[in-house]
Structure 1
Amino acid sequence: MIANWPAALGGGILIGLAATLLLWTNGRIAGISGIVDGVLRPRLGDALWRIAFLAGLVVAAGLCILFVPGAPQPRTDFPRAMLVVAGLLVGFGTRLGNGCTSGHGVCGLGRLSPRSLAAVLTFVATAMATTYVVRHLLP
């Protein structure tokens, strides 16, 4: 059971609301990898909303850490090189899967996309297998 289920429920509602509002107001999918890609390879008149969306994610997380008692804190006990390698692997997987968990899981499933369903099932199965290997098979 989730220790703080009201916060998790509230966070899920806010994510769903943000994805819905972005789709209704801009006609855009709130997949973070696609939004970042649009910032890294901008098209005329398309980068501003993407930058604002990403800035909102960072600012909201910072405000949560500062003002919400018991909010999860960033971990500092990982080697920086490992974090860089992990980030690059996530980026590779995102490209391989034509989107990230937020795009497929929140937005794709909400639009009843079969491709997103296959992607989410793959994400979940891989996460379960990885967790099992790391917790039970590795020393």
Structure 2
Amino acid sequence: MIEQLFPNGSAHYLGGGLLLGVAVAGIFVATGLVAGMSTVFSSSWSWFSRLPFFAQERFTGSRQWRLVMAVGLVLGALLAMLTVGGGVPVVTGVSWWQLALGGFIGGFGARLANGCTSGHGICGMGSLQLPSLLAVLIFLATAMITANLVSALGGA
């Protein structure tokens, strides 16, 4: 059954998860701050936007290392594409408006939940916070319902 779920093997998923967990836990232990991607996104925008939401101390006070983290994610994806992916970018058949709508819904959900899956799932659950457990359960249930709905409507 594992082979059906992971036809390309599971070792690279395990390795990536361990590296991500160690990195995020290290940031949490060193700074006491959660390294969730929704906060990285918001703090990165604090460099460019003067809107009151992005001017909050929680974003402006940590934006230097969070911007470095965001750049590292982009460069890591580029490095993976150049090495493992053979230099060929992944192309999707999803239209631009569907990607934009999905990004908006995901961003809205992360704001509504006061964090994203990496913040709640790694740091929040790792520090045994009940709200994070509930958020992750809701994230997973929503993802399962959405995947089944898309499949029922003929999507891939």
Identify whether the pair has TM-score above 0.5, normalized to the shorter chain. yes
Structure 1 segments of 4+ aligned residues over 4 angstroms from their partners? 42-45, 69-73
Identify unmatched segments of 5+ residues in structure 1.
none
Q: Number of matched residues? A: 138
Q: What secondary structure is seen at the aligned counterpart in 2 of 1:76?
A: coil
Q: Could you say which residue in structure 1 is the equivalent of 2:117? A: 101
Match of 1:51 among 67, 73, 77: 67
2:38 is the alignment partner of 1:23:
no
Distance 1:108 1:74 in 2: 31
Rounded to whole Å, the distance in 2 between the matches of 1:72 and 1:111 is 39
Against the structure 1 CA distance between its residues 87 and 72, is the aligned structure 2 distance closer, same or farther, given a 3 Å change threshold? Answer: farther
Deviations 1:106-130 (Å, cap 9, x if unpaired)? Answer: 1111010100000111111111111
* Alpha-carbon distance between aligned partners in 1 of 2:95 and 2:136, rounded to the nearest angstrom: 29
In the alignment, the residues of structure 1 paired with residue 80 and residue 121 of structure 2 have an alpha-carbon distance, to the nearest angstrom, of 23
Computed over aligned residues only, the root mean square deviation of the Cα atoms, in angstroms, reads 2.0
Question: Is 1:32 the counterpart of 2:37 in the alignment?
Answer: yes
Identity of aligned residues (%): 40
Instruction: Normalising by structure 2, report the TM-score.
Output: 0.80
1:39 counterpart SS class: helix
Within the candidate set 117, 130, 136, 2:146 is matched to 130
Q: Deviations over 1:86-125 (max 9, x none)?
A: 1111111111111101111111110101000001111111
Displacement, 1:76?
2.8
Who is 1:64 aligned against? 80
Cα distance, 1:38–1:131 mapped onto 2, change above 3 Å? same
Q: Could you list the runs of 5+ residues in structure 2 that have no partner in the other structure?
A: 46-53
Taking a change above 3 Å as real, the CA distance of residues 112 and 73 of structure 1, as seen in their structure-2 partners, is: farther
Give the helix-richer structure, 1 or 2: 1
In structure 2, the CA distance between the partners of 1:37 and 1:5, relative to structure 1 (3 Å rule), is same
Provide the rounded CA distance (Å) in 2 between the counterparts of 1:5 and 1:77.
Answer: 25
